[in-house]
């Protein structure tokens, strides 16, 4: 087992208990998704105030809701196409709200450079999701590139808990740009290889 | 796309850029280690971090060598 696999397995244990509780209470997964975004808005507020440790704690709680909604939907047999759509849309609101919190913080501190870095990281994070969604309307699968939402969220929490948000923003920005480029290139290659050869 | 014609360092860079590995693979672990090393070891002042304080691990080593 790899290190990240082992860490995932360790965290799955308490999450399993929360999933079981949500299933026992028959909480609708769409409600869990919505509660997640509300808690993320609170995390964004903490980021905006520069209270990173508090933001990290709130983000952890929010991401529990983010993580369990799909599992609860499976166990309650409440998986629906709308649920998938709702989850994707709400996730974008969660992502954007965290970035807005940081943009507010850096603008309040008069750090225009980091306002730009955070804004660009936000743009490429959204484009990471958009390129995949759009690509998968044309080709069967476009799951390439490293910086997806779970990586972004974990990095945000690491940045908040260890007060290294600037470094985290640079990592998110650079790897999101690479991921978007990767997805564009992959889709171009797949579409070109699928097109029939011209007859000589 | 075949990258067999590339040298080993070029192949490593290519595979890191055109990432196709799943989570919980050794390649993923390696990438995580590289990212965490950058985040935790880079002195915040090198990045002009508006919030972080302290020199970071590389900064400590640099001070120690001096």
pLDDT at A148: 95
Count CA atoms within 13 Å of residue A133 on its CB side. 11
Which segment of A8-12, A87-91, A145-149, B1-5 scores lowest on mean pLDDT?
B1-5
- Average pLDDT for residues A104-117, to the nearest whole number? 97
Which residues in chain B have their CB less than 8 angstroms from residue A1's CB?
Answer: 24
pLDDT band at B1 (very low <50, low <70, confident <90, very high): low
Q: What is the pLDDT of residue A45?
A: 98
The mean of the pLDDT values for chain A is: 93
pLDDT digits (tens, 9 = 90+) for B17-38: 899 999 989 999 999 999 999 9
Alpha carbon distance A55, A157 (integer Å): 8
- Interface ipTM: 0.86
Whether residue B55 has pLDDT greater than 70: no
Q: Are A69 and A36 in contact (CB under 8 A)?
A: yes
The pLDDT, as a whole number, for residue A125 is: 97
Cβ of B26 within 8 Å of Cβ of A2? The answer is yes
Average pLDDT estimate for A118-125:
98
Instruction: Round to the nearest angstrom and report the end-to-end CA distance of chain B.
Output: 48
Residues 93-122 of chain A whose Cβ lies under 8 A from any Cβ of chain B: 105-106, 109, 111, 113-114
Quick one: tokens of A147? 């910086």
Contacts of B34 in chain A (CB under 8 A): none
Question: Is the model's pLDDT at A99 over the cut of 60?
Answer: yes
Helices A112-135 and A165-194 sit at what angle, rounded to 10 degrees?
Answer: 30
Residue B57 has what pLDDT? 64
- Alpha carbon A85 to chain centroid distance? 15
What digits encode the pLDDT tens for the residues A23-46? 999 999 999 999 999 999 999 999
Range list of H helices, B23-55: 26-41
């Amino acid at each position: 087992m790899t290190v990240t696999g082992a860490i995932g397995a360790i965290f799955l244990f308490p999450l399993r208990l929360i999933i079981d509780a949500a299933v026992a209470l028959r909480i609708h997964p769409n409600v869990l998704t919505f509660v997640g975004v509300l808690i993320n808005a609170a995390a964004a507020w903490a980021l905006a105030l520069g209270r990173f440790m508090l933001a990290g704690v709130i983000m952890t709680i929010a991401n529990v809701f983010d993580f369990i909604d799909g599992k609860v939907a499976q166990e309650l047999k409440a998986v629906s196409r709308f649920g998938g759509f709702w989850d994707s849309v709400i996730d974008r609101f969660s992502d954007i709200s965290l970035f807005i919190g940081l943009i507010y913080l850096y603008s309040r501190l008069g750090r225009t450079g980091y306002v730009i870095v955070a804004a660009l990281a936000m743009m490429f994070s959204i484009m990471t999701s958009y390129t995949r969604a759009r690509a998968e309307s044309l080709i069967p699968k476009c799951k390439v590139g490293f910086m997806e939402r779970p990586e972004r969220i974990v990095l945000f929490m690491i940045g908040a808990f260890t007060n290294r948000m600037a470094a985290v923003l640079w990592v998110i920005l650079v790897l999101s740009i690479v991921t978007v480029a990767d997805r564009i290139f992959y889709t171009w290659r797949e579409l070109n290889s699928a097109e029939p050869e011209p007859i000589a | 796309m075949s990258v067999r014609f590339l040298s080993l360092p070029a192949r490593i860079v290519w595979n890191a850029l055109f990432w196709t590995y799943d989570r919980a693979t050794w390649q993923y672990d390696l990438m995580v280690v590289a990212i965490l090393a950058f985040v935790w070891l880079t002195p915040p002042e090198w990045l002009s971090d508006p919030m972080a304080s302290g020199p970071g691990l590389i900064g400590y080593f640099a001070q120690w060598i001096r």
